[in-house]
Amino acid sequence: MRGIKLDGKKDPTLITWTIKRLRQPARVRIALRQGGRDLAVPCVRHDDSVKAGQVIALPADDFSTPLHASVSGKVMAVGTFAHPFLEDAQAIEIVGDGRGETAPGVGTERLGWESLDRAQLAPLFRQAGLVTMDEAMVPLHVLAQESLTARVRTLVINLCEPEPYVTSEQALAMSHALEIIQGAEILRKAFGAEKITAVLTEDKIQAAELLKSKIYFLKWGHVDVRVLPLVYPQGLDVPLAETLLERKLKLPAEWHRGGTPQDKGLALHRVFRSEGLEILNGASAFAAHEAIVLQKPLFERAVTVGGECVMEPKNLWAPLGLSFQDVFKAAKGLMRDPAKVIAGGPMQGRFQAGLEAMLVKGIPALLALPPEAAPDPAASACIHCGLCIDVCPENLSPVMITLASESGLYEEAASWNAADCIRCGNCTYICPSKRPMDALIDRAIHEQLNSESRL
Amino acid sequence: MIRSKTSPSRAPFIRAASTASDFLWKRSAALLIPAAAAVFFYGPAALALFAASAAAAVLAERAMGFILKKPVPFQGGHALGIGLTLALMLPPGLPLWMAVLGAVFAVAVARDAFGGPGQAPLPPILAGFLFLAVSFPLEMRAVTDPVTGHAAAHGLAWLKDGVADSGPHLSRIFMTPQPGGAGMVFFPALAAAGLLLIFQRLVFWELPFLFLAASALTAFGFGEHPAAALAGSNAFAAFFLISEGMTAPHNRHGARFFALLAGFLAAALRQVSGAFDPSAAAVMMVSFLTPWLEEAGRTERGWAPPRGASA
């Protein structure tokens, strides 16, 4: 695959493999909409005492999952707060009491979890609030139900983590390898898949060896580990699927059209499933293990707190709903004002206007980048150097698409296969003229979709 | 309806360090190698030619920026590249004011009047060269042989009675200076600069290779020694003209067709007439076809068939 060897910048958060626990936070705000399409209705009232892992909101429809308190404390309010991905969202505010109590049963091993079958697993996923732990946050019970009508051959556990700074998956794989494999096996059963492939990039060879040793120990012949070359965007779900299938995929219009993260994710998972794949990351497998084996619902996740502005970059077990301010505080705060705060990695993540937004299930990393790392360069004219062609993983000609789009020639842009763009961001990254390639390609695709829907 | 947040700033947030001006300045720096060779063989006259042309190009850009109230693009790197490349193609004895005129024409008229870098319908360097060739045909033809100091035929015309039958003449191409444009005198200098560009990934290696291969094959077809393709102006065109971003098609297949066609035409033109610089003329002619080559170079998906799994 064509791509870029990005500067990983992962070392500061990999000084130790341990994922640190933070002190009981004073306040969390748990969003009732995590990924836009789901909705939960609060089932607690002001001043109710809650414990970590207790249900505080019930799903409003078949798609949604219940939400759980992430700290023990008192429910303060249900209000509108800043959301990292959505414009504004209702959230339940819990003021922590510092005692760190968990709801009864949470953390105790479920008897007979090995013999749970497909029909039993999906409702358990839902009870535990499991979602895919990337920005899409598609509930796992929805994926499990949809997989009933499709044949999923391979469950892919994507541990590639191709983006710079982000190491939460790698730290998780190093510290909880067995849990990830067992979680993957639970997911495999739930999706009715035949085998599991764990995929890593070659910089995580230690994690790959660790996984292999655990698999050997378990004597599971249906699990294998693949190591892919380290080249961005290898490891994003779409290029990974294309590599495994050895052909290019056609991306659905719903995905291009945008909408909420969950709508996009669902459309993408449907494409993968039609090819017999289900792709989930390591954090999802780990969460499945916690939920099924230890009866621990999803109320915290591993988050990388990184970027040059952070005093002590590290991986944290962060309770959901923690404000970004508090997440940074847990890494000893910021030593200088960041130019950009990003939820997710620097290539795919989302810009955050402030530090008030709360952590949701799909944020693997929180980065505070200084201006020299995340510049806002002024765009100049295209010099036709062809670098964007060299790095496009989909073998497109981004220069032609963007030049056409710039001139308003959207049909011309479409004829250069703009709709095959997977938005990896490589062309924008590499462009020496710093042109807004992705925005121009986006515009071309949207215009094309609009004109198609007008017909 | 729940709206997804629209970010004022979008991913990717990190950018590659190299900028367009770096890119263009590095290109110009590579041009200094053949320029140094020219100064070595022709003396200060060549140096004056380069300085005049480069300075005229940069100043013309500033002036146009002032008149059109536009900022100077790429810190002058683009104009400098035009001025230098053009000067390397001119005969070393050319009056300086002509070189200045050519550079000003290339930058101010052929490029900036059409909206600046990337907007010009014709490659500015070749437009400037054509302008001079049409305006001052006699002066543009007057080339001195750097060895003998006598008047010589321009470009590759000397090859017709020169190295056609291989043997000891071959070394003349590679190791001794040859008549032609100021920058084309010494093949090793051209090759060094070309390789520098290729290793810095400023030039896609296939294009010079295909150009030279097509040129060599055609020359061979006409009964010449294939090594004739490596002679001065042809090597210059291979490394500096066809790979110039604005000239070649913007998809790889198209660019490959472009290189092949230009290589063929460069060798063929030399057979037809000894006038001027057949390689530059060939590149110029083929650059008119760029839109069609771009179209022809399309494959179903962009420019190359999927390579399949890389692991």
Position B300 confidence tier, pLDDT thresholds 50, 70, 90: low
Name the residue of chain B whose CA is nearest to A231's CA.
B310
User: Looking at the domain assignment, is residue A307 inside a domain?
Assistant: yes
A301 and A193 fall within a common domain: no
Provide the domain count of chain A.
3
Q: How many CB pairs under 8 A join A and B?
A: 172
User: Looking at the domain assignment, is residue A437 inside a domain?
Assistant: yes
User: Looking at the domain assignment, is residue A9 inside a domain?
Assistant: no
User: Looking at the domain assignment, is residue A421 inside a domain?
Assistant: yes
User: Looking at the domain assignment, is residue A414 inside a domain?
Assistant: yes
Contacts of A39 (CB under 8 A, 6+ apart): A32, A33, A59, A60, A61, A64
Q: B103, B7, B21, B116: which is closest to B65 by C-alpha?
A: B116
Q: Which residue has the tokens 């780990």?
A: A286
Distances (CA, A) of A304 to A10, A36, A316, A348, A367: 10, 23, 6, 15, 8
Distances (CA, A) of A416 to A12, A405, A449, B191: 41, 11, 15, 35
b/e burial code for range B281-291 (CB count within 10 A of at least 16 → b): bbbbebbebbe
For the cut 60, the answer to whether the pLDDT of residue B301 exceeds it is no
A127 and A276 fall within a common domain: yes
* B246 part of contact set with chain A, CB < 8 Å: yes
**CB half-sphere exposure, A242, CA atoms < 13 A:** 24
Integer Cα distance of B119 and B111 in angstroms:
7
A208 and A250 fall within a common domain: yes
Name the residue of chain B whose CA is nearest to A7's CA.
B16
Q: Which A-chain residues 380-399 have CB contacts (< 8 A) with chain B?
A: 380-387, 389-390, 392, 394-397, 399
Q: A117, A167, A164: which is closest to A283 by C-alpha?
A: A167
Integer Cα distance of B54 and B138 in angstroms:
23
Are A200 and A207 spatial neighbours (Cβ–Cβ below 8 Å)?
A: yes
Are A185 and A223 spatial neighbours (Cβ–Cβ below 8 Å)?
A: yes
Q: How many CB atoms lie within 10 A of CB B272?
A: 8
Are A317 and A296 spatial neighbours (Cβ–Cβ below 8 Å)?
A: no
User: Looking at the domain assignment, is residue A48 inside a domain?
Assistant: yes
Are A205 and A131 spatial neighbours (Cβ–Cβ below 8 Å)?
A: no
For the cut 50, the answer to whether the pLDDT of residue B162 exceeds it is no
Between chains, do B303 and A381 touch, taking CB under 8 Å as contact?
Answer: no
Domain boundary among A261, A293, A325: A293
Are B294 and B258 spatial neighbours (Cβ–Cβ below 8 Å)?
A: no
Pairing of strands A55-59, A40-42: antiparallel
Domain boundary among A293, A309, A327: A293
Taking only the tens of pLDDT, chain A with its 455 residues reads 889 999 989 999 998 888 999 888 999 999 999 988 899 999 999 999 999 999 999 999 999 999 999 999 999 999 999 999 888 789 999 999 988 889 998 989 999 999 999 999 999 999 999 999 998 999 999 999 999 988 899 999 999 999 999 999 999 999 999 999 999 999 999 999 999 999 999 999 999 999 999 999 999 999 999 999 999 899 999 999 999 998 888 888 888 887 888 999 999 999 999 999 999 999 999 999 999 999 999 999 999 999 999 999 999 999 999 999 999 999 999 999 999 999 999 999 999 988 999 999 999 999 999 999 998 888 888 888 888 888 999 888 898 899 999 989 998 888 888 888 999 999 999 999 899 999 999 999 999 888 887 76
Distances (CA, A) of B70 to B79, B112, B261: 14, 10, 37
A97 and A135 fall within a common domain: no
Q: Point out the residue among B15, B250, B301 whose CB comes nearest to the CB of A384.
A: B250
Between chains, do A258 and B10 touch, taking CB under 8 Å as contact?
Answer: no
Between chains, do A389 and B252 touch, taking CB under 8 Å as contact?
Answer: yes
Q: Which residue has the tokens 């790889």?
A: B252
A234 and A358 fall within a common domain: no
Is the backbone of residue A440 left (phi > 0), alpha (psi -120 to 50) or beta? Answer: alpha
Distance of CA B260 to the CA centre of its chain: 15
A36 and A168 fall within a common domain: no
Q: Is the ipTM of this complex over 0.90?
A: no
Integer Cα distance of A40 and A65 in angstroms:
7
H/E stretch holding A412: helix A410-415
A394 and A423 fall within a common domain: yes
Q: What is the pLDDT of residue B153?
A: 55
Integer Cα distance of A7 and A160 in angstroms:
15
For the cut 70, the answer to whether the pLDDT of residue B81 exceeds it is yes
b/e burial code for range A253-262 (CB count within 10 A of at least 16 → b): ebbbeebbbb
Six-digit token string for B287: 């650059």
Between chains, do A84 and B117 touch, taking CB under 8 Å as contact?
Answer: no
Q: Which B-chain residues 270-299 have CB contacts (< 8 A) with chain A?
A: 294, 298
Pairing of strands A300-306, A314-319: antiparallel
User: Looking at the domain assignment, is residue A8 inside a domain?
Assistant: no
A288 and A301 fall within a common domain: no
* A376 part of contact set with chain B, CB < 8 Å: yes
Chain B contacts of A399, Cβ < 8 Å? 250
Six-digit token string for A93: 């505010």
* B68 part of contact set with chain A, CB < 8 Å: no
Q: Which B-chain residues 184-243 have CB contacts (< 8 A) with chain A?
A: 201-202, 204
Residues in chain A: 455
How many Å lie between the alpha carbon of B16 and the closest alpha carbon of chain A? 5
Between chains, do A248 and B301 touch, taking CB under 8 Å as contact?
Answer: yes
Chain A contacts of B304, Cβ < 8 Å? 395
| B164: DSSP letter | G
Interface residue of A256, A383, A412 to substitute, partner B, most B CBs within 10 Å: A383
Between chains, do A346 and B307 touch, taking CB under 8 Å as contact?
Answer: no
Between chains, do B2 and A36 touch, taking CB under 8 Å as contact?
Answer: yes
* A446 part of contact set with chain B, CB < 8 Å: no
Q: What is the pLDDT of residue A157?
A: 96
Domain boundary among A263, A293, A323: A293
Position B166 confidence tier, pLDDT thresholds 50, 70, 90: very low
Q: What is the pLDDT of residue B253?
A: 80
> Using omega within 30 degrees of 0 as the cis cutoff, is the peptide bond preceding B12 cis?
yes
Between chains, do A227 and B250 touch, taking CB under 8 Å as contact?
Answer: no
Domain that holds residue A29: 23-105+297-369
pLDDT digit string, tens, across residues B195-231 = 998 888 788 888 899 999 999 999 888 887 777 777 7
* A34 part of contact set with chain B, CB < 8 Å: no
- Order of strands across the sheet with A49-50? A27-31, A89-96, A73-81, A49-50
A339 and A404 fall within a common domain: no
First to last CA, chain B: 43
Q: A352 forms bridges with which residues in the sheet?
A: A341
A129 and A249 fall within a common domain: yes
Are A204 and A172 spatial neighbours (Cβ–Cβ below 8 Å)?
A: no
3-state DSSP assignment of residue A80: strand
Task: Please return the burial class of B300, using the count of CB atoms within 10 Å of its CB with bins 0-12, 13-18 and 19+.
Answer: exposed
Position B175 confidence tier, pLDDT thresholds 50, 70, 90: low
Name the residue of chain B whose CA is nearest to A347's CA.
B12
How many Å lie between the alpha carbon of A294 and the closest alpha carbon of chain B? 34
Are A339 and A200 spatial neighbours (Cβ–Cβ below 8 Å)?
A: no
Name the residue of chain B whose CA is nearest to A83's CA.
B5
How many Å lie between the alpha carbon of A103 and the closest alpha carbon of chain B? 32
Chain B contacts of A433, Cβ < 8 Å? 19-20
Q: Tell me the average pLDDT of chain B.
A: 80
- Order of strands across the sheet with A55-59? A40-42, A55-59, A67-68
pLDDT digit string, tens, across residues B96-154 = 999 999 999 999 998 888 887 777 778 888 899 989 988 988 888 776 666 666 666 55
Integer Cα distance of A394 and A392 in angstroms:
5
Q: Point out the residue among A36, A231, A385 whose CB comes nearest to the CB of B23.
A: A385
